[in-house]
Amino acid sequence: MHLSGGAENPFSYYFVFHMIIASVLLSRRASYLQAVFALLLFLLMAGLRAANEQLREKDRIKSNYVLRVTHDVKEHLAAIQACLDPVLHGVTGPVPPAQEGLIRRSYERTGKLMTFVKALLEITRIKLSRKMETGPFSLSRTAENAVGLVEARARAKNIKLTWHVSPEADQLHGSQIYIEETIAGFLANSVKYTPEGGSVDLRAGDAGASVLIRVTDTGMGVPADELPHIFEEFYRARNAKAAERTGTGLGLSIAREVALRHKGRVWAESREGEGSAFYLSLPKPAAAQAPRIIVELPHAYKRDLRLRLRLHP
């Protein structure tokens, strides 16, 4: 039993059966076959466990490599932007119209590439980080911050942006920074793919043992056959590509990683041409899930307890 991996091994009952009962119920040949079968199962489990560890190690090495490369690329892009910005704004002297167009285009393309690199860096960091700084925080304040990040873009497109967090869903425990980034990502995605004059709404409420955060919009929606894939890394729906050529395809995959790290989940509901709804479900803090137990003491016992407290402060 010890060599098989202990009592917690899901196949340990085969050895128990063999050692205790097989000698009584089965013939010698059947007992040997039972032992061989159990041994093969244990060897298969050991092989699968080793293969899984190798895959995890390879994924960790790949993520470390991506992290280093993207960090270096980000530094170079920041340097390019820092050089182009003063030239574009005439700090170094007047810029002829022909050159100004080229410089502006280079600056904008560098900015878009910087956005992609930052997103890639972010998802790699989340995957590599073993611990995430967590603590209690106010969801309403977090939602307000997230809305503030996209308000200007919504106003520019005349999009009605509304939000509400119910009081019973306000207190959460987790990484406020990542939750805020996830909500802001949902909102930015909705604003980006909602036509002018549309609406985007953020709601958060109690859902039993969890808090449900929902962002709905009146945008272009997602084709039904592509909806299951939108949380995959680098995936962009075909209508999103047609409407907006540039995009990282990482925003929703970052949201998925954040949800997994919080033991929550994300999903979406959508119909092409009818808008979308993005959901983030997060578990409530343990204290919030615990039922309140009120014990009513007998009057005589309460009187005796008050007397004891006065005598022994």
Residue 96's domain comprises 1-130
In angstroms, the CA 166 to CA 140 distance is 8
CA 147: distance to chain centroid? 18
Residue 143: inside a domain: yes
User: Quick one: pLDDT at residue 96?
Assistant: 85
Domain count, the chain: 2
Name the pTM for this structure: 0.65
Closest CA to 89 of 70, 107, 69: 107
The answer to whether residues 112 and 44 belong to one domain is: yes
Residue 289: inside a domain: no
Task: Write out the two tokens for 213.
Answer: 């955060």
Residue 163: inside a domain: yes
Contact assessment for residue 200 and residue 216, using Cβ atoms and an 8 Å cutoff: yes
- Domain end: 76, 100, 130, which one? 130
Tell me the pLDDT of the chain (313 aa) as tens digits.
444 444 455 555 555 555 566 666 667 777 677 777 777 887 888 888 888 888 877 777 776 766 677 777 778 788 888 888 888 888 888 888 888 888 888 888 888 788 777 777 777 777 767 677 789 999 999 999 999 999 999 999 999 999 999 999 999 999 898 899 899 999 999 999 999 999 999 999 999 899 999 999 999 999 999 999 999 888 888 888 888 777 778 788 888 988 998 999 999 999 999 999 999 999 988 754 444 444 444 444 444 444 444 444 4
User: Quick one: pLDDT at residue 2?
Assistant: 44
In angstroms, the CA 71 to CA 65 distance is 10
In angstroms, the CA 117 to CA 113 distance is 6
Contact assessment for residue 110 and residue 80, using Cβ atoms and an 8 Å cutoff: yes
The answer to whether residues 122 and 211 belong to one domain is: no
Residue 96: inside a domain: yes
- Domain end: 99, 130, 161, which one? 130
Q: Which residue has the tokens 């080229």?
A: 102
Instruction: Write phi, then psi, for 157 (nearest 5 degrees).
Output: -100, 10
Amino acid at 122: E
